[in-house]
């Protein structure tokens, strides 16, 4: 049986640590924080928990491509902002002890949803 990265790195406690760190880093960047200013903090945190869990391979039937698309298209996320967010996320994972090989797996997973998040500056 294959163990997901979610389980390999500690499940809920690990995702909680990653999300706290990731969220703090994002909110320190005004150009990225602007995407979340109209949202309640709890909703942002829940969104990040779902995103990080998905990225680490936790099956989540509530996290669909359609929902991802619908949640992000109105935000006007640019390719540059998305790339910055990914840099922050991967740096957070690295500092949490996720191996470079596993970060590559996460990156591959997230490339599949990039088109559902980015609405400006991305070739479709």
Q: What is the pLDDT of residues 74-96, one digit of tens each?
A: 778 888 999 999 999 999 999 99
Mean pLDDT of 55-64: 76
Q: Residue 85's closest CA among 117, 50, 38, 60?
A: 117
| Confidence class for position 124, pLDDT limits 50, 70, 90 | very low
* pLDDT tens figures, 5-57: 999 999 999 999 999 999 999 999 999 998 888 889 888 888 888 889 989 98
pLDDT at 123: 52
Delineate the domains of the chain, giving CATH numbers in brackets: 5-120 (1.10.490.10)
Considering Cα of 8, then 94, then 119, then 34, what sign does the dihedral take?
positive
């Amino acid at each position: 049986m294959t163990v997901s990265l979610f389980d390999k790195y500690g499940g809920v406690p690990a995702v909680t640590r990653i999300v706290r760190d990731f969220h703090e880093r994002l909110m320190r960047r005004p150009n990225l924080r602007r995407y979340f200013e109209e949202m309640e903090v709890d909703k942002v945190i829940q969104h990040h928990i779902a995103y990080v869990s998905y990225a680490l391979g936790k099956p989540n039937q509530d996290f669909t491509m359609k929902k991802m698309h619908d949640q992000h298209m109105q935000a006007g996320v640019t390719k540059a902002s998305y790339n910055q967010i990914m840099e922050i996320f991967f740096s957070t994972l690295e500092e949490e002890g996720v191996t470079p090989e596993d970060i590559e797996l996460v990156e591959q997973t997230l490339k599949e949803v990039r088109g559902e998040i980015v609405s400006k500056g991305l070739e479709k």
